Structure 1
Amino acid sequence: MLKLSKRLQTIADLVAPGTRVADIGSDHALLPTYLVQTGRSPSAIAGELNAGPLAAAKKQVKEAGLEAKIDVRQGDGLDVLQAGEADAVTIAGMGGCLMAAILSRGAAAGKLDGVRELVLQPNVGEELVRSWLLDEGWLLTAEEIVEEDGRWYEVLRAVRSSDADALNGKLYDTSFLPSGIGQERGRRLLLRMGPLLLRRGEPLLGAKWAHELEKMEYICRQLSLSETPEAKEKEAGLRRDMDEIKEVLACLPMDKRSCS
């Protein structure tokens, strides 16, 4: 039985049992191989654009004896998928901007017709993926965070729902955040940090953002060395962002502290 990394295992665990999966940017096809091996998915499509990873994916599937159940295809993003071929789409290991672009282009071409579930793991730019899901009427149902080899990854699961607009309205309600942040900034923070992660007070979220705040502090110190108005303005903006993030983290349920 194939053993997955913590990151890929987290993704696999969020795929609903019994779903036909299309894994986009599948690399070595580890995820679809595991899903079919374990019986979580009856069949899968492994899509890969580049020749090297495509060959590796085909080798993996052949060695697992799953060529009849996993179709390895070469193509750009969701181009490998036809409408109705998959119940779920997984995309992992790329930036949020690229991921949102792949989803937009695929949706416009009808590639997501019949797809009921998306499991997405952006390496950066998680807020761009959440914004896409929100704008396109997908309901965010799960968010997980995992640390692996010194890096932090967020995994998002979204589904189609006839009540998506109403449920998303509740999900992105900012009333549980510190009142001084305001609705507009609060909405941006929810998109950036994850509404479900924040609401449940995910402990790893604090660790991830402590690391991010260190990076932001370093940038601020570098900007402070410049006397240009642009640098000063950018530093001030970053400082405001940092203060808001710290204020939100201080109010996580796990901290048992007051948000007033």
Structure 2
Amino acid sequence: MLRLSKRLEMIAKQVPEGSRMADIGSDHALLPSYLAERGKISKAVAGEVNLGPYQAAAKQVRDAVLGSLIDVRLGDGLAVIQPGEVDVITIAGMGGALIAAILEAGQDKLAGVSMLILQPNVGESFVRTWLLEHSWVLIREQILEEDGKIYEILTAVPAQHTELTNGQLYESRILGAGITANEELQLKLGPYFLQEPSAVWFHKWKLELDKLEMIRGQLARSSQQETRSKEQLIESEIKQIKEVLACLQKDKASFN
């Protein structure tokens, strides 16, 4: 039986029993193979845009004798599936902007899809924004650290499949100390994470602050006038994130 990384195992746990799934950017088709071996899915499409990973996925499926359940296809994004063919789509291990672009380009393939399970390596706000703008509701956010990297897993369903509305999810709320979490801030930091921040989430944003401080330092050394406005934007972002982290850490400490 296949074993998965903690990241892929967490994604696998989100896939409902009996699903017809499409795993886009499937690499070695590990995720659908794992689920198929355990009888958790009824059918899967493993999509790959590059020939090498496509061949690796096809070999994995052949070697595991799972060809009756998993169809490995070569193609770009959601072009590998037909409308109504699957009800769950997983896209993991690429940038958030690319995931959003894949969903945007393949909107006609989302008919009948009841769940998106998305794991951007960076740029999570691009994914949240796309979901919000296209009437998908984020129902779960998860975060984990593995091998020195931090991953977020975002699970969403169509608006008609949940009583929760995006208006409710992203409604502005006071975090404490006069700090308001508006829609923009929640799209960046995650609405569920802001409600229940974990140690891994705090660690992620401390690392992000380090990156922003480095960028600010580079901008400060530049003599070009146009960098001043960029530097001010970075400073404002750093200040905002620091205030949120300090507020939430204080709340967490007082709760504990």
TM above 0.5: yes
CA-to-aligned-CA distance 1:9-55 (integer Å, 9 cap, x gap)? 11111112221110011111001101111222121110111111111
Shift of residue 153 of structure 1? 1.1
**1:158 — aligned with what?**
156
Distance 1:131 1:229, change over 3 A: same
Shift of residue 74 of structure 1? 0.8
Shift of residue 164 of structure 1? 6.1
Aligned residues: 254
What RMSD in Å do the two structures reach over aligned CA positions?
1.9
Distance 1:196 1:182, change over 3 A: closer
Bigger Cα displacement from structure 2, 128-137 vs 226-235: 226-235
Q: Distance in 1 between matches of 2:35 and 2:247?
A: 38
Of 111, 114, 123, the residue aligned with 1:113 is 111
SS at match of 1:71: strand
Q: Distance in 2 between matches of 1:257 and 1:199?
A: 15
Q: Distance in 1 between matches of 2:52 and 2:145?
A: 27
Of 195, 199, 206, the residue aligned with 2:195 is 199
Shift of residue 214 of structure 1? 0.7
**1:255 — aligned with what?**
252
* Amino acid paired to 1:189: L
Q: Does structure 2 conserve the Cα–Cα contact (< 8 Å) formed by 1:138 and 1:164?
A: no
Of 205, 212, 215, the residue aligned with 2:211 is 215
Shift of residue 149 of structure 1? 2.0
**1:24 — aligned with what?**
24
Q: Distance in 2 between matches of 1:175 and 1:227?
A: 40
* Amino acid paired to 1:92: A
CA-to-aligned-CA distance 1:166-225 (integer Å, 9 cap, x gap)? 621111112133575557xx3221111111111112221100001111111111111111
**1:91 — aligned with what?**
91
Q: Distance in 2 between matches of 1:26 and 1:165?
A: 32
Q: Distance in 2 between matches of 1:132 and 1:99?
A: 9
SS at match of 2:125: helix
SS at match of 2:93: strand
Task: Normalising by structure 1, report the TM-score.
Answer: 0.91
Q: Distance in 1 between matches of 2:26 and 2:248?
A: 35
Task: Normalising by structure 2, report the TM-score.
Answer: 0.93
SS at match of 1:252: helix
Q: Distance in 2 between matches of 1:161 and 1:17?
A: 21
Shift of residue 247 of structure 1? 1.3
* Amino acid paired to 2:60: Q
**2:175 — aligned with what?**
177
Asked whether 1:141 is paired with 2:139, we answer yes
* Amino acid paired to 2:170: Y
SS at match of 1:134: helix
Bigger Cα displacement from structure 2, 167-176 vs 133-142: 167-176
Shift of residue 256 of structure 1? 3.7
Distance 1:222 1:34, change over 3 A: same
Bigger Cα displacement from structure 2, 57-66 vs 156-165: 156-165
SS at match of 2:3: coil
Q: Does structure 1 conserve the Cα–Cα contact (< 8 Å) formed by 2:177 and 2:247?
A: no
Q: Distance in 2 between matches of 1:117 and 1:176?
A: 30
Q: Distance in 1 between matches of 2:77 and 2:204?
A: 29
* Amino acid paired to 1:144: Q
Considering fraction of residues, name the structure with more strand. 2
SS at match of 1:237: helix
**1:64 — aligned with what?**
64
5+ residue gaps, structure 1: none
CA-to-aligned-CA distance 1:53-73 (integer Å, 9 cap, x gap)? 111001101111100000111
Q: Does structure 2 conserve the Cα–Cα contact (< 8 Å) formed by 1:250 and 1:257?
A: no
Q: Distance in 2 between matches of 1:160 and 1:175?
A: 24
5+ residue gaps, structure 2: none
Bigger Cα displacement from structure 2, 25-34 vs 242-251: 242-251
* Amino acid paired to 1:149: D
